[in-house]
Amino acid sequence: HGSSIVYGDLMGQGLVLRDLDSGAVRRLKGTPSLSGSPAWSPDGKTIALASSEKQFEGIFLIAVDGTKVRRLPSPAGKLWSPTWSRDGSSILVCAQGEAGAHMWRTEADGSGLKKLLRLEGNTGIHTAWSPDGAWIVYARPSLDGPSGLGGSSLYAASADGRRSLHVTGGGSVGDEYPS
């Protein structure tokens, strides 16, 4: 991807790739019209996208050259924040469904989907993998931060979802996008 960025076009045109050096713009055909939260694969060849559009619901992998769109096993509900594992083998996604909000892990090769943990509340959760891939850190918005301005609390979960830690509390973190 080098000097390119990808974003969803809110005018209903799907994903857009823009080369920052040349200014060239290319639309990826066959992608959801209201695409949100696209994420580059570690090798830069694929984009993961979580879409909650009726006709395009799920987690999708899209080849950067636009030749291939593939749906992965996906949870039902409103999806957000796809996050690739460092080795490109897995993707995290959060979903808000009838049974509440959960963090899910799907394999990039399409071989499986696993519910990792239940998330409190029903606001967007942003995730990141630890450098060694053993932990997932996530931020949850909080309304009771210092000085009443909100903020986020950080949590960490083992990559298999069996262990969870509350890292910071009381909305003391000003960044909802951990890394």
Lowest model confidence (mean pLDDT) among 5-19, 30-44, 54-68, 142-156: 142-156
Lowest model confidence (mean pLDDT) among 77-81, 82-86, 132-136, 146-150: 146-150
pLDDT at 26 over 80: yes
pLDDT tens figures, 64-123: 887 888 889 988 888 888 999 999 999 999 888 888 888 999 999 999 899 998 887 655
pTM of the model: 0.83
Neighbours of 115 (CB within 10 A): 13
pLDDT at 147 over 50: no
The tokens for 145 are 């931060």
pLDDT at 155 over 90: no
Question: What average pLDDT score do residues 144-152 get?
Answer: 56
Specify the 3-state DSSP secondary structure of 16.
strand
d(CA 113, CA 67): 25
